[in-house]
């Protein structure tokens, strides 16, 4: 009987200190959100590599997770073209001269780099660019995985 009385008294002490319990749970939640954001970031970078989207590495290497706010995390891809990669683009003009370096790096083009860049520029002007999602698949994966 004495053991049972002690357990009841201990439970009441924990419940009566509701503020401490709430703070402890909030800390656990914040830590889990940190873990979730880190894993989404890791998977997004893996997706960039798997998609063959990486050229110079800037999209991946400039990315980070902002852990600065309590229970609010952001996976950030600050490259100005990140949303164009993720969602694709509508038809628009791109100067072929802006594409020459890309054709040399990505397509290993030599002297023909400028003519290839002109062809790619015309295609983008007609069709836009297709989406190459990397971030949202990482988010959806983690939501479906139930993040254990």
Give residues with Cβ within 8 angstroms of 100, minimum separation 6.
Answer: 113, 114, 117
Write down the H helix ranges in 1-148: 2-16, 18-51, 58-61, 82-87, 96-106, 113-127, 135-145
Percent of the chain exceeding pLDDT 70 equals 87
Look-up: residue for tokens 């891809």? Answer: 77
Q: Residue 16's pLDDT is what? A: 57
Q: Residue 24's pLDDT is what? A: 84
pLDDT in tens, 112-122: 999 999 999 99
pLDDT band of 35, cuts 50, 70, 90: very high
Of residues 136, 127, 147, the one with CA closest to residue 39: 147
CA dihedral 95, 55, 74, 65 (to 10 degrees): -140
Q: Residue 1's pLDDT is what? A: 47
Q: Residue 9's pLDDT is what? A: 53
SS3 69: strand
């Amino acid at each position: 009987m004495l053991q049972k009385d002690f357990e009841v008294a201990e439970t009441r002490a924990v419940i009566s200190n509701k503020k401490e319990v709430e703070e402890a749970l909030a800390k656990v939640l914040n830590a889990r959100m940190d873990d979730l954001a880190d894993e989404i970031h890791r998977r997004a970078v893996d997706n960039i590599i798997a998609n063959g989207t990486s050229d110079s590495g800037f999209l991946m290497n400039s990315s980070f997770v902002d852990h600065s706010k309590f229970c609010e995390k952001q996976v950030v891809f600050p490259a100005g073209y990140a949303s164009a990669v993720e969602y694709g683009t509508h038809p628009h003009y791109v100067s072929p001269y802006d594409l020459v370096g890309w054709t040399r790096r990505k397509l290993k083009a030599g002297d023909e780099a400028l003519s290839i860049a002109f062809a790619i520029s015309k295609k983008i002007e007609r069709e836009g660019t297709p989406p190459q999602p990397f971030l949202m698949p990482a988010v959806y994966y983690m939501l479906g995985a139930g993040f254990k």
